[in-house]
Structure 1
């Protein structure tokens, strides 16, 4: 293994609460001292060295949707952008996340093909049918530490309660992507002025908050550990805050794009801004930012959803929702620092240590974390050529941004 010396780099280590400039030596993704030799020297002036990132929600599209992305293409994009640990929802097509043996094979394939540690959230119900609980015992043996029904609906609330009791008995986390289906129905954008003017079907904020409130009551009744992913509404923050104050075992995350982009981007029927949950109001964005800053929302994720070009080529409401997010993740993080939302170390904690804790992989992550070298001043243009992901579906296309991972040191 080669030994790399990085001179005068700003080390950001949320585990040891370190933020200082120093010269370091790296071998196989680990810091070492007094090496016998040096194979490469890097000028780290103005750059940041941090642990590799942990992503709580990304769809890598394999198996079944390789026209959008593969474990090789999306794993490579994640790794090159400093994201080494990726957690995926259980809604591939076909659904295999209700089978512990198949999950193990996918995890191995992700490491071999894409060079990442992939962890899969197991299915909460069989085939995500919302009717019968999945074999959670088998899923746990297959390596799952969490289950979810993703965006699929439940037949009734009794099914939800039974699966929560089952998960609690196995010490599994249940992940909710909260949306009340009867309220959201055929909606595709935030209920607001922009959507009204364009005549697009809307998803009001209460579709999220009502679902969260209902699930919180069930969580309290069953004692299950729960995580709310992809919060999009300011009103949701108050519910999570109250639940935590009450002592409920609840955590939450938000997608990075919800901390920057708003409903205004859908103006002109811009399908590249079609994402679910939808981009919300400026007020929601500010409330979400404050919630992450205060720790009410524990972590930030990418919500990476690569799509082929044809997936965005229909009328807005008929296009597939999703934004490719691995390649712009660091730039968005640097923007949060530049805008004074976080210090560099605080931002690093929200994308490394905090999600590792939420995913219950803290010890494993510390052993396998690796290191990332970031240039926070590097300006680059988001283009189909510069995006490593197979999906080029981002509203940032052709825009110039600042901040990029320039090297990942790992296995």
Structure 2
């Protein structure tokens, strides 16, 4: 067996809570101290670089099955892995919907490993076909390997359906994932309700669409005692609702997309369809309150919200384009920026994208067993171009912009 030696590297270990300069040895992607009988096959100068565990992403759409024009398990698995992400959770809204069938989910997980080399964690459908009418076969989903269910962005027929699915999930010890948005308030909106949207005449999604939904679901969580996760928070007032729920002892966690900690609705100026995402980019105040929420621990983890799209998906008039950013390739640069701006120490940021999401998913032991290591150059400046983006989707408002920080090597544990 061969050994990789990494000299003088800054090791950021969220499990041991250590941040130190070390010379470290990896054997088949795992850290070792005793490697008798093995040869050092490669020596890497790790000076001024960071070594961290592989990351866990709580929300990414890989587009397969059914939308291979945007991305495949092979293309997006490669993009995730080369950007240091080994475990990926995906919402249950592929086209066609297969995430309400436990047997089909098992095949999808196997294909993700064979084609893309990643551990795919499929969130099961909360209702049959995401139609919002009848609960899905959650017992079958659990047998197929699901640990969580969600109705993704699809609406429920009524609140009674929501309650019945929460009771069902609670009985099976499944987590329910909410991407909270009240459809009667959001209606046909596509951007944050603010000055820029008003000036451009774009249909708006007020913050109230998110907060009303969160408040309602929290009351249902309290009544049913189901374990709940609120994904992709976008509003500062949502953080306060989650804080109160946690103080009451409700079994809730939440995450935020990395881009919501950096980008605001200013980017939609000029009808820039590359800034079209859902939930939408919000105000500067929302951005700051979300940052405070992550820093304080009210927001448990940071996800990519990766949504690769073909070029044509962004070429219609703004409101008619598909929402979404390709986000795997800019995840680490955005994280490095949070460190550079003083929001986190390097170890604090690493924890928010590794151990923290693993805890949210109740898979910290599995993650520790399966994780490899990621070598990051936090000082590498590079330009985000269609050629430098590994993902099949090139849909990011950062296109042709300059960023700092990049994964230069991922060491995956032998399977």
| Partner of residue 14, structure 1 | 14
Task: Determine helix, strand or coil for the equivalent of 2:307.
Answer: coil
2:300 corresponds to 1:279: no
Alpha-carbon distance between aligned partners in 1 of 2:39 and 2:312, rounded to the nearest angstrom = 51
| Partner of residue 328, structure 1 | 330
Alpha-carbon distance between aligned partners in 2 of 1:191 and 1:234, rounded to the nearest angstrom = 14
| Partner of residue 357, structure 2 | 355
2:140 corresponds to 1:135: no
- Alignment map for 1:259-274 (pairs within 5 Å): 259-274=261-276
Cα deviation for residue 37 of structure 1 reads 1.6
Alpha-carbon distance between aligned partners in 1 of 2:117 and 2:363, rounded to the nearest angstrom = 18
Cα deviation for residue 33 of structure 1 reads 1.2
Cα deviation for residue 73 of structure 1 reads 0.1
Alpha-carbon distance between aligned partners in 1 of 2:220 and 2:16, rounded to the nearest angstrom = 37
Alpha-carbon distance between aligned partners in 1 of 2:182 and 2:18, rounded to the nearest angstrom = 42
Cα deviation for residue 2 of structure 1 reads 2.9
Structure 2 unaligned segments of length 5 or more: list them: none
| Partner of residue 253, structure 2 | 251
Alpha-carbon distance between aligned partners in 1 of 2:147 and 2:280, rounded to the nearest angstrom = 28
Task: Determine helix, strand or coil for the equivalent of 1:39.
Answer: strand
Alpha-carbon distance between aligned partners in 2 of 1:76 and 1:124, rounded to the nearest angstrom = 29
Alpha-carbon distance between aligned partners in 2 of 1:336 and 1:238, rounded to the nearest angstrom = 22
Cα deviation for residue 125 of structure 1 reads 0.2
Task: Determine helix, strand or coil for the equivalent of 2:40.
Answer: coil
| Partner of residue 177, structure 1 | 179
Provide Cα deviations, 1:44-91, integer angstroms capped at 9, x if missing partner.
000000000000000000000000000000000000000000000000
Alpha-carbon distance between aligned partners in 1 of 2:369 and 2:182, rounded to the nearest angstrom = 39
Alpha-carbon distance between aligned partners in 2 of 1:211 and 1:356, rounded to the nearest angstrom = 26
Provide Cα deviations, 1:204-225, integer angstroms capped at 9, x if missing partner.
0000000000000000000000
Alpha-carbon distance between aligned partners in 2 of 1:228 and 1:251, rounded to the nearest angstrom = 6
Provide Cα deviations, 1:385-410, integer angstroms capped at 9, x if missing partner.
00000000000000110000000000
Structure 1 unaligned segments of length 5 or more: list them: none
Alignment partner of 1:317 out of 316, 319, 322: 319
Task: Determine helix, strand or coil for the equivalent of 2:66.
Answer: coil
Alpha-carbon distance between aligned partners in 2 of 1:339 and 1:306, rounded to the nearest angstrom = 28
Alignment partner of 1:301 out of 296, 300, 303: 303
Alignment partner of 1:53 out of 52, 55, 59: 55
Cα deviation for residue 185 of structure 1 reads 0.4
Task: Determine helix, strand or coil for the equivalent of 1:85.
Answer: strand
Alpha-carbon distance between aligned partners in 2 of 1:288 and 1:108, rounded to the nearest angstrom = 36
Q: Which runs of 4+ in 1 moved over 3 A?
A: none
How many residue pairs are counted as aligned between the two chains?
411
Provide Cα deviations, 1:181-216, integer angstroms capped at 9, x if missing partner.
000000000000010010000000000000000000
| Partner of residue 241, structure 2 | 239
| Partner of residue 32, structure 2 | 32
Alpha-carbon distance between aligned partners in 2 of 1:57 and 1:37, rounded to the nearest angstrom = 39
Alpha-carbon distance between aligned partners in 2 of 1:335 and 1:399, rounded to the nearest angstrom = 14
2:92 corresponds to 1:77: no
- Alignment map for 1:46-195 (pairs within 5 Å): 46-195=48-197
Alpha-carbon distance between aligned partners in 2 of 1:135 and 1:17, rounded to the nearest angstrom = 40
| Partner of residue 366, structure 1 | 368
Cα deviation for residue 34 of structure 1 reads 3.7
Alpha-carbon distance between aligned partners in 1 of 2:34 and 2:178, rounded to the nearest angstrom = 47
CA RMSD of aligned residues (A): 0.5
| Partner of residue 213, structure 1 | 215
Alpha-carbon distance between aligned partners in 2 of 1:380 and 1:49, rounded to the nearest angstrom = 20
Of 400-409 and 35-44, more deviation after overlay is shown by: 35-44
Q: TM-score, normalised by structure 1?
A: 1.00
Alpha-carbon distance between aligned partners in 2 of 1:81 and 1:248, rounded to the nearest angstrom = 34
